[in-house]
Amino acid sequence: MTEAKDIRTGIAMTFKKLAGRNITDKELDVLAKLQNEEYQKFNKNLEKTKGWLQTGAFKISETDDKASIAANAVVASTIMNADASITKR
Amino acid sequence: MCNNHHHSKLTSTNKDLQQIEKQLDRRHFLKQTSLGIGAIALGSLLGAEKAFAGIGKESTEEEILKVYNKNRLGLPHHAPKAKRIIYLFQSGGPSQMDLFDYKPKLSDMFGQELPPSVISGQRLTGMSGSQSTLPIAPSTFKFNQYGESRAWVSDAMPYLSEVVDDLCFIKSMQTDQINHTPAITFMQTGNQLPGRPAIGSWLSYGLGSDNENLPTFIALVSKNGKGQPLKASLWGNGFLPTEHQGVQFRSGKDPVLYLSDPENYDGNDRRDMLDYLKHLNELQTDAYGDPEIQSRMSQYEMAFKMQTSIPEVTDLTNEPEYIFDMYGEDSRDPGTYAANCLMARKLLEKGVKFVQLYHQGWDQHNYCQEV
């Protein structure tokens, strides 16, 4: 998600990889709004990113935008828990 | 019959799903109207019997309906005597003829071949199928009668024999399931093949919850279990909505898996994320109309509530000493059968309707006296 040219493209790409179908405009609006709110939240309080960034196989470097990566992680987690990912219809 | 009447707002574009939607719509209408009338009559009946909290003589129709609609089917059609159940399942239990079903005739017939009237075409188990002879053997335990009921109990159960007048012995049970897994599945779900709802799931579906912060049906499995295996389908919801499946509690740090939040990401943060997830799933419901999507969402909501309610209910630090004394020393060791019995008590106190305990290691074949 972080590698994409912009957030919406990144979310759409992640959604396709996890759910196996293209994201709809409405779904993209919901997730982009979530990403933005989470980013603002993490940016205000970087401590909140701790649990999200300590999980996983890749270590975050000091130069990475922690708020952005944590916000993307929340979005990815939301997609993974959505019905679209759990049940292929 | 007009198919489009009253169905102006069909959410699905799929014809099959539209058909289901129409049926649901009609069922919803019938349920609302018939329950509405029935609830008023029931309300006066139940008000007198005080069978249900929340319904009294002064209750308005709206209040009665609120209690009435708490579950999928409405209230039970009679005032139940039992309000909550703890179901103790000792997996692979020893034979009843060694415990409470006294069969003195077996001693008289010791060594004789099992008569055809008993076998009468039944299948033999894998263990006895290859035997060249099937001789009768009596129990090796001594039996005595106890209590006012003069119930027969073997000396394998010295403590239970002291409370026989409080027990109900059922001696009419029979089954054609002769192997563990299908037999247990049959016992829990009414069918030897997996896929049907467990009894606790039916209760959850039919009677609803008394505590919206905890599941209605909880399964507790003793730790370090050995012997015949258990499987999650024994407390599964089968074809009922998934929110009615038994939630398994574990011993140790996390009684329920996958409830904890990432460090520093607290309940309000999770609430925000769940609201977005809900929105996303609502879009999916609009597109496909599958009620299971809502069911899954209510499970997420339950998990969210359990983040608070589970640590509270599993905390035994404020439990008085005399309670531990009643349940024995093992009750201080989380995950033991005794500790799970105590946990079941606490869950019932919190309004959980059905707690099922599974305890393995009761499979008996030989050396019964030593075991």
- Residue contact B265–A48, C-beta within 8 A: yes
Would the pTM of this model clear 0.80, i.e. be above it? no
If DSSP codes are grouped into helix, strand and coil, which group holds residue A45? coil
CB atoms within 10 A of CB B57: 10
B351 contacts B83 by C-beta, under 8 angstroms:
no
B13-17, B33-37, B108-112: range with lowest mean pLDDT = B33-37
User: What is the structure's pLDDT at A63?
Assistant: 87
Strands B151-154 vs B143-146: parallel, antiparallel or unpaired: antiparallel
Look up residue B85 and give its DSSP letter: E
State the average pLDDT over residues B212-229: 89
Rounded to whole angstroms, the Cα distance separating B29 from B33 reads 6
User: What is the structure's pLDDT at B254?
Assistant: 76
Beta bridge partners of B85: B354
Of B270, B271, B265, B268, the residue nearest A52 (C-alpha): B265
Rounded (to 5) percent helix, strand, coil in chain A: 70, 0, 30
- Residue contact B269–A41, C-beta within 8 A: yes
Mean pLDDT over the full length of chain B:
82
Rounded to whole angstroms, the Cα distance separating B310 from B305 reads 8
Cα dihedral across residues B60, B66, B72, B75: positive or negative: negative
Categorize the per-residue pLDDT at B58 as very low, low, confident or very high, splitting at 50, 70 and 90: low
- Residue contact B264–A51, C-beta within 8 A: yes
pLDDT over 90, % of chain B: 47
Residue ranges covered by each domain of chain A = 7-88
pLDDT tens for B63-96 read 655 555 555 555 566 667 788 999 999 888 788 9
CA count, 13 A, side-chain hemisphere, B211: 21
Rounded to whole angstroms, the Cα distance separating B156 from B368 reads 9
Tokens standing for residue A46? 């970087």
Tokens standing for residue B260? 């904890």
| Locus of tokens 């943060």 | B269
Q: Which residues of B328-347 are buried (b: 16+ CB within 10 A; e: fewer)?
A: eebbeebbbbbbbbbbbbbb
User: What is the structure's pLDDT at B23?
Assistant: 56
pLDDT tens for B73-82 read 555 666 677 8
The answer to whether residue A38 neighbours chain B at the CB level (below 8 Å) is yes
ipTM over cut 0.90:
yes
CA count, 13 A, side-chain hemisphere, B77: 0
User: What is the structure's pLDDT at B18?
Assistant: 65
Q: Which residue of B has its CA nearest to A28?
A: B280
- Residue contact B263–A54, C-beta within 8 A: yes
Chain B residues touching A47 at Cβ < 8 A: 264
Q: Which of B276, B284, B300 sits opposite A34 (nearest CB)?
A: B276
A77-86, B116-125, B329-338: range with lowest mean pLDDT = B116-125
User: What is the structure's pLDDT at B56?
Assistant: 56
- What's the one-letter identity of residue B336? T
- Residue contact A33–B276, C-beta within 8 A: yes
Chain B residues touching A82 at Cβ < 8 A: 277, 280-281, 284
What residue spans of B50-179 are helical by DSSP H?
Answer: 61-68, 105-108, 116-119
User: What are B106-111's contacts with CB under 8 Å, separation 24+?
Assistant: B106/B136, B106/B137, B106/B138, B106/B139, B107/B138, B109/B136, B110/B136, B110/B137, B110/B138, B111/B135, B111/B136, B111/B137
Rounded to whole angstroms, the Cα distance separating B314 from B342 reads 10
- Residue contact B264–A48, C-beta within 8 A: yes
Rounded to whole angstroms, the Cα distance separating B235 from B183 reads 14
A71-75, B270-274, B293-297: range with lowest mean pLDDT = B293-297
State the average pLDDT over residues B197-217: 90
Q: Which of B264, B280, B296 sits opposite A50 (nearest CB)?
A: B264
The answer to whether residue B264 neighbours chain A at the CB level (below 8 Å) is yes
